[in-house]
Amino acid sequence: MKQVVYTLLIAGLSACATGKNGNEDTGRTQRLRVSVGEIKEVRLDSRGDGSTQLIGTSDNNEVVEVSRRELAPAVDTLKRDNAGPTVFQIKGITTGTANVVFSEKRVGDEGSGQPRKTYVVQVVIK
C-alpha cells in the first residue's frame, strides 16, 4: 500500500511542468496587477527555429490589450534573429479582470495552439 502511495506521489510530482529554464510555470495560473494605462511586459522563450509561433490572447479586450513587441532588426542585417525571447505587452485599458493566455502552435496549423502560460490580469485605477 505504501509503495502505491509513493508511486502516485512521484508520478504526480513528475507531471508538474516547468519551462526549459525552470521559471516558466506552465501548470498554474499566475496573477498580474496592472494600472489603467500601464504596460507590463511578459517574456516567453521561443524555439528560435521558426517552426512555431507564440500567440497572446485576452478573453476581455475591453479590459486588457495584448500585443507583441516587435524589435526592428539592425539596419545592416538582412535576416532577423529569432534566438531571443518573445516579448508581449499587456496594457490595462479599463478597470476589471481578464484572462490572458499565451499559446504556442506550429506555423500553418489551425486553432489556438497549446497553452504555455496563463495570467489572470486585474486592472485597477492608479
Instruction: Please enumerate in sequence order all residues whose Cβ is within 8 A of that of 111, keeping only pairs 6 or more positions apart, or say none.
Output: 105
Q: Once rounded to an integer, what is the mean pLDDT over residues 2-23?
A: 42
pTM (2 d.p.): 0.68
In a domain, 4, yes or no: no
pLDDT in tens, 89-108: 999 999 999 999 999 998 88
| In a domain? residue 81 | yes
Give the total number of structural domains in the chain.
Answer: 1
In a domain, 102, yes or no: yes
CATH number at residue 82: 2.60.40.2020
Domain housing 37:
19-124
Q: Is residue 86 part of a domain?
A: yes
Q: Say if CB 31 and CB 99 are below 8 A apart.
A: no
Please state, rounded to an integer, the average pLDDT across all residues of the chain: 78
Mean of the pLDDT values across residues 56-65? 96
pLDDT tens digits, one per residue of 17-59: 333 333 444 557 899 999 999 999 999 887 777 788 899 999 9
